[in-house]
Structure 1
Amino acid sequence: MPEPSFKKQVYKTVSEVPKGRVVTYGQLAAMAGSPRAARVVGQIAHFGPLQLPWHRVVNAKGGLAVSYVPGGRVGQAQALKRDGVVVNDNFKVDIYEYQWTT
């Protein structure tokens, strides 16, 4: 199980994802120091502060979150589109085009 500071590191890292880019749950977990904690990142995102750009976190295939707060996949798609990210009709992002790399 990741250390308590892991949550803070996830918050810090997600806040650094630039507009127009996305990260995967696994990528965010690795960047925050716990590469095998993708599911934990999902829980942190679900219950995390709404002012953070959680809409920039997608699954490994570029899929949007069904339980994204607020508004589900539609809400996440709208937020990503405002960032300039193209979301297809299947609620997916081209991960190769939009993935953030440091």
Structure 2
Amino acid sequence: MVEALVAQIPQGRVMTYGQLAALCGNARAARIVGGIAHFGDPDLPWQRVVNKQGGLASGYPGGHLPGSDTLRVSSVYQ
């Protein structure tokens, strides 16, 4: 379910791990969503999933800078 929701996040928008967890039925499961993101399908736009401070998690697949560059190009993260 998490991966299906991530696939639906439009370009130029982001969601937090907590928001995704809430949509899955458990707002307190943000860490579980993070684990799914870490091991999930690398072709999904995981760079659109941010922490509660609005930044990329330190364990972002592909490293922090590639994700930041992707978000910057999308005009989301400055």
Normalised by the size of structure 1, how large is the TM-score? Answer: 0.71
When the two chains are superposed, the root-mean-square deviation of aligned CA atoms in Å is 1.1
Look at both structures and tell me which one has the larger radius of gyration over its CA atoms.
Answer: 1
| Structure 1 residues without counterparts, runs of 5 or longer | 1-8, 88-102
Which residue, 66, 69, 78 being the options, matches 1:78? 69
How many positions carry a matched residue from both structures? Answer: 78
Counterpart CA distance in 2 for 1:67 and 1:81 is 18
**Runs of 4+ with deviation above 2 angstroms:** none
Calculate percent identity across the aligned residue pairs.
51
RCO comparison, higher one (Cα < 8 Å, 6+): 2
Pair 1:49-2:41 in alignment? yes
TM-score by length of 2: 0.91
Q: CA deviation at 1:36?
A: 1.4
